[in-house]
Amino acid sequence: MHELSIAQGIIEVCEQHAGGKRVKSVSVQIGALSGVVPEALEFCYEAAVNGTLLEGSMLEIERIGATAFCECCGAVAEIEHFTDSCPCCGGFPLEIRSGEEMRVKELEVD
């Protein structure tokens, strides 16, 4: 379960930027192709924040859809998997444009 290490990374980033203040909420962006299971991340986050500046904070997860550029037809289209072909022409290869993100977007402190 790599979501636990991701939760710990989120906590580290937030503690570095919170200025020693309690964190009330954290907003993260998770791409559809990142391999992160949002429900598992929420579960791990709840366990990992105990005893930190983030204890009792709310985790808000924003899912970022996956898009790719088709080198065959020039379309930019939504995809669901790395192995998808172009939904417009069926062509390959596709250049991923979004969906691999995983970042702390903002945090709210006391």
- Smallest CA-to-CA distance from 54 within 4, 5, 11 is with 11
Q: Which CATH architecture has domain 3-109?
A: 2-Layer Sandwich (3.30)
- Tokens 């709310």 belong to 58
Share of the chain above pLDDT 90, in %: 96
* 80 pLDDT above the threshold of 90: yes
pLDDT of res. 1: 55
SS3 for 72?
coil
Could you give the CA distance from residue 5 to residue 63 in angstroms, rounded to a whole number? 19
- Average pLDDT over the chain, rounded to an integer: 95
* 15 pLDDT above the threshold of 60: yes
Output the pTM of the full model: 0.86
pLDDT of res. 41: 97
pLDDT of res. 13: 97
- β-pair partners for 79: 66
